[in-house]
Amino acid sequence: MNTIYETIKEQATAMREQLRAVRRDLHTYAEAGWCEIRTSSLIAKRLTELGYQVLTGPDVCLAEARMGLPPEEQLEAEYQRALQQGAVQPYAERARGGFTGVIGILDCGEGPTIAMRFDIDALGVFEDKGMEHLPAYEGFCSVNDGVMHACGHDGHVSIGLGVAEILMNCREQLRGKVKLIFQPAEEGVRGAKSIVEHGHLDDVDYVIGNHMGDSAGGDYQIGLTYGSTLASTKMDIYFTGRAVHAGAIPEKGNNAMLSAATAVLNLQAIPRSSEGDTRINVGTLHAGSGRNVICDRAKMEVEVRGATTAVNQYMEDYARRIAQAAADMHGCGCEIKLMGATESLQSDPDMIRYCEKVCREKLGLRPTPPGQNAGASEDYAYMVNRVHSHGGKGLFFSTLAPCAGQFHTKEFDFQEDALCNGVMAFCALTYSLMCEEPV
Amino acid sequence: MNTIYETIKEQATAMREQLRAVRRDLHTYAEAGWCEIRTSSLIAKRLTELGYQVLTGPDVCLAEARMGLPPEEQLEAEYQRALQQGAVQPYAERARGGFTGVIGILDCGEGPTIAMRFDIDALGVFEDKGMEHLPAYEGFCSVNDGVMHACGHDGHVSIGLGVAEILMNCREQLRGKVKLIFQPAEEGVRGAKSIVEHGHLDDVDYVIGNHMGDSAGGDYQIGLTYGSTLASTKMDIYFTGRAVHAGAIPEKGNNAMLSAATAVLNLQAIPRSSEGDTRINVGTLHAGSGRNVICDRAKMEVEVRGATTAVNQYMEDYARRIAQAAADMHGCGCEIKLMGATESLQSDPDMIRYCEKVCREKLGLRPTPPGQNAGASEDYAYMVNRVHSHGGKGLFFSTLAPCAGQFHTKEFDFQEDALCNGVMAFCALTYSLMCEEPV
Amino acid sequence: MNTIYETIKEQATAMREQLRAVRRDLHTYAEAGWCEIRTSSLIAKRLTELGYQVLTGPDVCLAEARMGLPPEEQLEAEYQRALQQGAVQPYAERARGGFTGVIGILDCGEGPTIAMRFDIDALGVFEDKGMEHLPAYEGFCSVNDGVMHACGHDGHVSIGLGVAEILMNCREQLRGKVKLIFQPAEEGVRGAKSIVEHGHLDDVDYVIGNHMGDSAGGDYQIGLTYGSTLASTKMDIYFTGRAVHAGAIPEKGNNAMLSAATAVLNLQAIPRSSEGDTRINVGTLHAGSGRNVICDRAKMEVEVRGATTAVNQYMEDYARRIAQAAADMHGCGCEIKLMGATESLQSDPDMIRYCEKVCREKLGLRPTPPGQNAGASEDYAYMVNRVHSHGGKGLFFSTLAPCAGQFHTKEFDFQEDALCNGVMAFCALTYSLMCEEPV
Amino acid sequence: MNTIYETIKEQATAMREQLRAVRRDLHTYAEAGWCEIRTSSLIAKRLTELGYQVLTGPDVCLAEARMGLPPEEQLEAEYQRALQQGAVQPYAERARGGFTGVIGILDCGEGPTIAMRFDIDALGVFEDKGMEHLPAYEGFCSVNDGVMHACGHDGHVSIGLGVAEILMNCREQLRGKVKLIFQPAEEGVRGAKSIVEHGHLDDVDYVIGNHMGDSAGGDYQIGLTYGSTLASTKMDIYFTGRAVHAGAIPEKGNNAMLSAATAVLNLQAIPRSSEGDTRINVGTLHAGSGRNVICDRAKMEVEVRGATTAVNQYMEDYARRIAQAAADMHGCGCEIKLMGATESLQSDPDMIRYCEKVCREKLGLRPTPPGQNAGASEDYAYMVNRVHSHGGKGLFFSTLAPCAGQFHTKEFDFQEDALCNGVMAFCALTYSLMCEEPV
């Protein structure tokens, strides 16, 4: 008779085709953050069919804690688009207006509560249509121009639904509660906080998340790291001045261009910190209305990052002060809109070792030795930190696959055979934590 | 028997309705600089009908001296649009591709050569559709969205065609040569130089230009000024850097945002000059591709101005040096495109007095006492300066009318009754210079 | 029998040697603004001897309206120095502590009140000791190192004392009141306001000032100009931050260097004004304490200027806003000390013509045709403007002499024979205004 | 019979008073970098007396590789001062002109070559004269105003001479060659490179350096760290423009103030690096000559740092590019003087463990567990890196003592009893490496 781990492994391996199919369907109908109407409705429908208690709409994301939402009109247009692309009612209606998160709950009695996070949104990238790009060659390129799953979240959803199925199959052997969290708007670190603020992590003992990673020619299958992702804050800064004819009465204007340029240089010049790595970027700046008119408006997209949440806060506070002073300097107004934010993420070291052991010993997978990583940000950090705050433990691991292209570029793709490794890792960890030994 | 001046006056007054009709037709089909296909073709057709020798296409504007042309595709699209809006062949074909200038020549034997300049282009302004805006109320608003005769050039063309008709009627009394120059792309000071560089002003003894002006509640009809318009140079500055992920490897990028911001502040900080008034404006800046990407491209629209051509040259030279150094500073590239230029314009003082006398004594018009003006730029300056350079004389005057709204705004309009004053001033000056006394 | 004008001319001519001697004595003991203890005491002594009512100390300059005073210790050291160099008591004691102005009053009964202004201070320049520099060759170089009469104020005092003598001689013929104002601290435009604020110009009908000018090889003797001097404000701006080790904890500092650099660029970038010429200069900046320490203090010497008092105010207000915002931006403090100020000066046009006529017709001097001048500032403007404000008239003229070197340089010198021209111009104007005809 | 380690320990402990006396003498006559004439002469005299082969003058430091030398006049003045303060001939003469390094060599036949580095210079700090400052209370405050041993190098020299004595005593038991390097001008990282470039480290198998450290209330005696000091480059940047009157002809100047301000902001804005920590500081800026003169000269003291030599090089290269471009931008000249430089220092991990073991097991000292440190720079890095480059091994450790005040401040002092720990550590390591086991 099989052990439960062998069962998990068999079932996961057996759903390889299904995992690929789900991923390709999502890849075809890629949806950007807060606009994942179709994706959300399909997840909710599937979880419901499997027998999960399903939360949708405002029950998942706290409305006022969502960040960086598109304008109302765009949300509505996306809803209509989604309906035409197969979004399923009544779930689509629930997701309308930027409520695209879904949570599936499976209660198996006494035992720990284990949450798993799967992010579901795509990026603002125009997908490569060339025949050397496999999704183009095999016909599952994004049909939504300028929106592409260039970060592998299509794979994450596919894994999540695979996990949902297997855990439901094994529910008799489980002890405790499973929460499968399908999170919208991870890109731009906009969505996780609204789920955390709703309280969904408050009773969680273990939270597990994963991300696709590039195996880069090696033969590792699961990636582990001690290193942390960077805390980050995304802000849009608006300067408003007064437009007048630049030749006739320049002294009557308030030149928002000068405020913006002063802000750019000083933002970049925020002193380095001895308390950890920092980043600052003014990614875009759009200012002015005509060559011979004093510029009366400027918008810049800014992000700061920090090795720790505290260092990131230092950067954010300093950046806000600079923006306000740069506006004051030229008699301009300044408005700062928070577009996204995340804390620094650090897996619990014991969870890393636990995962390493389960993967190797129970599943025969090859995990990497835990190393460092750098530069990226992930709002899953909010979930881990909330769980850590009440004494629980969090883990973030990578499902490694051979990849084409860089993440976030139009050429990105990954080999789908690896998806079943992610599925079995989640399931095995859940079983082990619930039934074998705590971390 | 009437004097020639009385004849001119009568004929000009009699064509009041015709002047209004032509102006309103042009207002309806407003065309931006280098795109005045329909306008150009109607002018050429009319001059031909009247019996002028007519120059069109590359015979008017020296191709390589034209500045600030729209892209080829846009020029072609405008050609198609113009055909649908009544552009007349074969003149439209001649004007295709940014050759929209027209010159009408009338040779009346021995005598001085007198050139007159009428500019024909509209502005990039969305016209007011409200019923308090007379063109809207009376139904001759621009049908070309975002293009509007908000500077009165529709009136200039109407005056020019009126002048053409009367001078042809009086040709027996004239001695010398008449050149009626219909200039494209005055807005942004892009067109005049190409006509001058073609040589059309090289044999001219007197050149006369006019602009609509606001009578501002007073009862003056012709505006005269000793003051000069500002020389000006319009440049588009492009910075090109290298885009990389701002979190992962910021040191590998070349940040065009930093070059642009440094350039903005330093451009604005070019030292004032004791040799005359100066202006500088970075009107627009568009930079970057995404919040988390090091900015790899920035475009800014810049203009400098100077009370004299020399002072403007100081500003231009300094601005170019700043742009290049700002690019070098961050390892970026820099390209500067000349989008328009003009010199400083100063009417010949004798011509001002001559005009004042002819208007008052021969036509019974009320000219202003010559005063100062400031802040504006006009590429008609090239024509005046070329004529001055070989000993001729140039004049710039205003045809004053009650106006609604400010020039260059969507509410702008002028009272059309004044157009005949402009017509008779041009004609009377021509006759007087040719047949009565030199300046 | 001589006319009074002939008498004036003769007496002025006769005192040529005396004028030279006084000037050379003052040149030798040059004293900077607010430190003119010796100069002041000699003036007061001489006016007293001549029979004038003499005001000194706080009776001349309103204490709180003085600008740009040196520190107390320096004032005291200068007092001690002056005593050693021949300052005369009790006048030196009166001048102690920055009260170096002197006013001599001569009351001649009914008639207009005429004030004359003579500025008395030297500059912070190290005088040329080379033998081609006449003061060095003839042995009257400044003995006070780093202080030099490089702007001719030694000549102004000499003229003033000559005027005092002749007017006293002629007192029987005069009708009205004479006020001879010897003003301290004109350099840096620091002294005039305190005299005006004391009220000394409130009863004045005519005020006359003069400055040495370079005849530049021509044969004019008196310079006249319609043009105005620039209004100006001189400010010292201090930024204070927090010093920390730049390698160890840069984020703990407040970097005054960043505030200062941001201020420099933005000050220079204050938009030009259509209402008149402007100037801005950050002349000096001293910042920081060590290479590896975050800069905690910066001091910059700034001046703004404007063609009119209003335009200068625009510049000053904008500059103050920039400084404060630049400090705020980096969490620094900002203090702005007013070091000097003056308004724009414009002679009354009638006074110019009056002076031209008196000089030419009564004295046989050659005045220039009234022209334009530019770039300079003079706090005598406060006096003229105060007199204009209650209906009086003001005049500023130049006493022209062949000069060596540029004004304000170590090589500067002027030919002293011209001093008697200044003397006779002041005296003749006074007599004419009092006894012959008003302006 | 004693082991050699016991002998070392006894001898070191016995010289406690002597170590204190030497340290206090050096503290009293503190000498800044390249000016350590007296210090150098006393070291050379002592080493000679002990029997070492002694190198001095240009035989120690390669003349052209010395950085940040004071001007000739100052060096000469320091030489005269040193003679008055007891510098010993002929050694003082050898050290004259910035050749203050000394090397003592002891050849004990076959065996490894072991170099030890002791830095000898003081800092530009005004020592606290208050009675709570022990050197003041006990009367050994620096007599050289503005120069103070505020970094403990007086202790380093004292240790070095103690080591010299004991190793000479034990020379019969040693096998190999000892090089005691007394390095000038470590502050500002100016001196080490000239010794390395002379070749003195080319035959070295092991190099050992130490620095006083604060035991901070703990009971550790020897500090060990895996972490590296920062590589650093110190530069003085000079901008030269053209001075003109700021009111009269601002456009004729070249404004070095604008170049300097632009450089400050852009230097501070050099992008962060993902390859390691960086620092940048513009510590001081002195610019301009007068308020109303366009600034024609600016000098800034700049330093960059980097976690690795490569990252520091990135910073230095970028800083140089910025300085040049900022000068070009305003038509100014730019000169960059290298004032100091060092690489990143990382002890050999095996040496750390070796040292830990020797200290604990052979000497009974308490070493810290190896940790991280940050922010500081040390030009001893050049020595370690040169030794590593040919396969040798380098070590940097701290001699811990209770300290008063922060390093580099006027209140700094350390408890001298700890000096003997440093002495015995050097000696024991030398013996062990030579005679017991290699690393």
**Whole-number pLDDT of residue B294:** 94
Strand partners, A26: none
Beta strand spans in C244-380 (E): 278-287, 297-306, 333-342
Mutate to test the interface with C, among B268, B302, B303, B304 (most CBs of C within 10 A): B268
Beta strand spans in A161-306 (E): 176-183, 206-214, 222-223, 231-240, 278-287, 297-306
For residue A278, the chain D residues in CB contact (below 8 A) are: 272
Mutate to test the interface with D, among A262, A265, A279 (most CBs of D within 10 A): A265
Give the strands of the sheet with A393-401, arranged side by side: A53-55, A102-108, A176-183, A113-119, A206-214, A393-401, A222-223
Average of per-residue pLDDT across B106-111: 96
Whole-number Å distance between alpha carbons of A147 and B48: 56
| Residue A172, CA distances (Å) to A175, A208, A316, A363, B319 in order | 8, 21, 48, 20, 76
Q: pLDDT for B361-401, tens place per residue?
A: 999 999 998 876 667 899 999 999 999 999 999 999 999 99
Gap from A248 CA to chain C (nearest CA, Å): 6
Q: Using the predicted structure, report yes or no on whether residue C227 has a pLDDT greater than 80.
A: no
Q: Using the predicted structure, report yes or no on whether residue B149 has a pLDDT greater than 60.
A: yes
Whole-number Å distance between alpha carbons of A251 and B400: 28
Residues in chain B: 439
Closest among B2, B364, B18 to B163, alpha carbons compared: B18
Query: Looking at beta carbons, which pairs linking B134-139 to residues 24 or more positions away fall under 8 Å?
Result: B134/B404, B134/B413, B135/B24, B135/B27, B135/B413, B138/B24
Count of beta carbons in the 10 Å neighbourhood of residue C54:
22
Whole-number Å distance between alpha carbons of C55 and C101: 8
* Residue B374 burial by Cβ neighbours in a 10 Å radius (0-12, 13-18, 19+): middle
Strand partners, A108: A176
What is chain A's mean pLDDT, rounded?
95
**Whole-number pLDDT of residue A2:** 67
Q: Residue A437's pLDDT band (boundaries 50, 70, 90)?
A: confident
For the ranges A170-174, C407-411, D97-101, D153-157, which has the lowest average pLDDT?
Answer: C407-411
Look up residue B284 and give its DSSP letter: E
Whole-number Å distance between alpha carbons of A215 and A223: 9
Contacts of C35 (CB under 8 A, 6+ apart): C70, C74, C75, C78, C82, C98, C100, C121
Reading the block at residue D326, the tokens are 């900022």
Q: Which of D188, D234, D284 sits opposite C289 (nearest CB)?
A: D284
Q: Contact C266/A269, CB-based, under 8 Å?
A: no
Q: Which chains pack against D, by 3+ Cβ pairs within 8 A? A: A, B, C
Tell me how many residue pairs between chain A and chain C have CB atoms under 8 A apart: 64
Q: Percent of chain B at pLDDT above 70?
A: 99
For residue B303, the chain C residues in CB contact (below 8 A) are: none
| Residue B154, CA distances (Å) to B44, B211, B376, B426, D240 in order | 15, 11, 19, 17, 54
Q: Contact A266/C248, CB-based, under 8 Å?
A: no
- Peptide bond connecting D90 to the previous residue in cis, omega within 30 degrees of 0: yes
**Whole-number pLDDT of residue A432:** 97
Q: Percent of chain C at pLDDT above 70?
A: 99
Reading the block at residue A287, the tokens are 């200012």
**Whole-number pLDDT of residue C310:** 96
Q: pLDDT for C71-98, tens place per residue?
A: 999 999 999 999 999 999 999 999 999 9
Whole-number Å distance between alpha carbons of C388 and C366: 27
Q: Using the predicted structure, report yes or no on whether residue A438 has a pLDDT greater than 90.
A: no
Q: Residue A363's pLDDT band (boundaries 50, 70, 90)?
A: very high
For B6, the 3-state DSSP assignment is: helix
Interface of C with B (CB under 8 A): 265-266, 268-269, 271-272, 274, 277-280, 374-375
Residue of B nearest to C263 (CA): B265
Q: Which of D269, D274, D277 sits opposite A268 (nearest CB)?
A: D269
**Whole-number pLDDT of residue C103:** 98
Q: Using the predicted structure, report yes or no on whether residue B2 has a pLDDT greater than 80.
A: no
Residue of B nearest to C376 (CA): B274
Query: Please, are residues C412 and C405 in contact by the beta-carbon 8 Å criterion?
Result: yes
| Residue B287, CA distances (Å) to A295, B15, D58 in order | 15, 52, 56
Q: Contact D269/A269, CB-based, under 8 Å?
A: yes
Report residues of chain D scoring pLDDT below 50: none
Dihedral of alpha carbons D33, D35, D38, D43, sign: positive
For residue D307, the chain A residues in CB contact (below 8 A) are: none
* Residue C171 burial by Cβ neighbours in a 10 Å radius (0-12, 13-18, 19+): middle
**Whole-number pLDDT of residue C261:** 98
- Residue D135's φ and ψ, nearest 5 degrees, are -60, -30
Gap from C280 CA to chain D (nearest CA, Å): 8
Look up residue C148 and give its DSSP letter: B
Q: Contact D328/B321, CB-based, under 8 Å?
A: yes
Q: Contact C260/D301, CB-based, under 8 Å?
A: no
Q: Residue B227's pLDDT band (boundaries 50, 70, 90)?
A: confident
Reading the block at residue D124, the tokens are 């530009």
Q: Residue B435's pLDDT band (boundaries 50, 70, 90)?
A: very high
**Whole-number pLDDT of residue D138:** 95
Closest among B360, B436, B343 to B394, alpha carbons compared: B343
Mutate to test the interface with B, among A242, A282, A329 (most CBs of B within 10 A): A282
For residue A266, the chain C residues in CB contact (below 8 A) are: 258, 262, 329-330
- Residue C401's φ and ψ, nearest 5 degrees, are -145, 155
Q: Contact D269/A274, CB-based, under 8 Å?
A: no
Residue of C nearest to A255 (CA): C271
Q: Contact D249/B274, CB-based, under 8 Å?
A: yes
Q: Using the predicted structure, report yes or no on whether residue A68 has a pLDDT greater than 60.
A: yes
Q: Contact B376/A303, CB-based, under 8 Å?
A: no
Q: Using the predicted structure, report yes or no on whether residue A32 has a pLDDT greater than 90.
A: yes
Residue of D nearest to B269 (CA): D258
- Burial pattern A118-140, b for ≥16 Cβ within 10 A else e, equals bbbbbbebebbeeeebbbbeeeb
Q: Which of B286, B291, B302 sits opposite A234 (nearest CB)?
A: B291
Whole-number Å distance between alpha carbons of A95 and A54: 13
For B421, the 3-state DSSP assignment is: helix
Q: Contact B291/A268, CB-based, under 8 Å?
A: no
Whole-number Å distance between alpha carbons of B438 and A175: 110
